[in-house]
Structure 1
């Protein structure tokens, strides 16, 4: 079986910006390259070096620590004279810095480009990867959150307490992230159950589906539209007080996923977390596979924001492991 060992030398990720900077404003959008440091680690270091509040730093997404990553952070433009030395001191390289009239917000990216080096042990490994990645491009793969997000049971439990407003911890960036860890675990449980019940990837009556940019509850009337099967994308719960709810059997499935974690479904409406919906299927784009040597291939692709490269690798039959060496946060 092909194998991927994640290190900064084998895992490359680059954010795809959602929009161009306007060239003026009170925020400086800094695009930079870094290795072996998480996004939260960098934000924390910059906060201390530049002596600013955490809320003055804008982040679109958290990139893996064990990666070579290109991403963007926004900072107050008044700090521009100090920014080059600040990034240099933490081992990050600035690639560009542009003014904009808005702070960068979480999720404000179009997607991510990946380049991954995979070890292969036979011609069959290469052929299997090629076949399965083509299948993923045509049909998609289950959009599970990766182990980077949900493998730590302690973090899931802490996130649940904060989600239920039963923790004394304040609302800083790290604790907001812990809430997303809990929400991600619930989503993964829901999606796993749908697959087990053979209710993936196609939606059923009562599901919340995405058609274009709109979220709607799938009804008999909508089903009678000619091509709804090709238009409607199944979504799952990112639980919270303002989440759009499904009806009927799909609602029962979501209740089961929540109650698995020892809370009553109605409790989610008391949370400060607003909640949202997440597409249950993700399709990679711009796929290319290149032979580097007899024992190594390079796989490159683009994923929509929020989708995990490690989830795709698992789907195409690549064993994954993490090299835990490197800087500690």
Structure 2
């Protein structure tokens, strides 16, 4: 599976292992919780445990159905992670009393009028511990990290989405093109892998376009891409790395309002100031299509 990366720096050697001692993730909620309502919001720290396992443990501790437990996103098993979980308020006593595993710690509790739903995230804070890093390598890492914080990075779906052999999307492709109704969680997961593969292909192509625009002059880029000169001129005027196109399906950040890009000036400014972001195509019946 080919990916086009945004940055061309030489590989920087270091030692890293994804373990609970060296990999940390903390959710940033999309909204502040009102601290009023019929749902209990738990800020939970867990280690060496997947989100699905966490939900199973919570369901057992509270005698709730798993569908009654809300979460915004999946967190890695081989990490120390902090995420927000919602459960009906009436289960508060049971969860406090029966949640005894050392792998789970309730850091805070609040209340909300609404349960947490998948996708209700502003983002995640990641911290990793690298070892065997020389002073020169430290300087190189900091330089690249600064550029990434300013320009962003292509948000590809990672290897874990595609199974151990990295080919689960092929099974998903076969299912998706069969025209049959999906049966069970496994088929849905495989089709999701195919959707993710197509998204990665789209993103790789857009990154490649952006690199061509940045690297070449207008006439040469137009020839390589087979684009009209006027379009390449408009793209070349954008100072950021990832180039936006008229008709891109955009999304406001962090609150999720979507819109189509109709003109460059204000839309590019919003993108550069991290107030909006282009969305990638996740193929499906309900997909929002670019104009």
In structure 1, the partner of 2:287 is 243
Deviations 1:162-208 (A, max 9, x none): 766746633x6x76555543322221121112223437710234433
Task: Select which of 85, 91, 99 maps to 1:73.
Answer: 85
Cα separation, 2, equivalents of 1:177 and 1:87: 30
Distance in 2 (alpha carbons) for counterparts of 1:246 and 1:105? 26
Q: Deviations over 1:81-114 (max 9, x none)?
A: 2102433237311112222221111111222122
| Contact preservation (8 Å) 1:15, 1:109 | yes
Change (3 A) 1:215 1:103: closer
CA contact (8 A) 2:15 2:131 kept: yes
Give the structure 2 partner of residue 169 of structure 1. 183
How much has 1:66 moved relative to structure 2? 0.7
Q: Within the alignment, does 1:202 sit opposite 2:243 as a pair?
A: yes
Give the RMSD, CA atoms, in angstroms: 2.9
Contact between 2:249 and 2:289, CA under 8 Å: does it hold in 1? yes
Looking at secondary structure, tell me which structure has more strand per residue: 1
- 1:87–1:94 CA contact under 8 A, matched in 2: no
1:118 to 118, 130, 133: 130
Gaps of 5+ in 1: 248-329
- Largest Rg, 1 or 2: 2
TM-score by length of 1: 0.64
Distance 2:90 2:192 in 1: 32
Distance 1:157 1:235 in 2: 24
* Alpha-carbon spacing, 1:86–1:160, altered in 2? closer, same or farther (3 Å): farther
In the TM superposition, 1:299-318 aligns within 5 A as: none
CA contact (8 A) 1:42 1:90 kept: no
What SS class does the counterpart of residue 35 from structure 2 fall into?
coil
Gaps of 5+ in 2: 1-12, 214-240, 272-276
1:78 & 1:227 partners in 2: Cα distance?
47
Say which structure, 1 or 2, has more relative contact order (CA 8 Å, 6+ apart). Answer: 1
The answer to whether structure 1 residue 185 and structure 2 residue 197 are counterparts is yes
Contact 1:30 1:94 in 2 (8 A): yes
Listed as ranges, the matches of 1:309-328 within 5 Å are none
- Secondary structure class of the residue paired with 1:111: strand
Is the 8 Å Cα contact of residues 38 and 65 (structure 1) preserved in structure 2? yes
- Asked if 1:229 corresponds to 2:276, the answer is no
CA distance in 1 between counterparts of 2:188 and 2:59 reads: 17
Count residues in correspondence: 241
Q: Distance in 1 between matches of 2:190 and 2:60?
A: 22
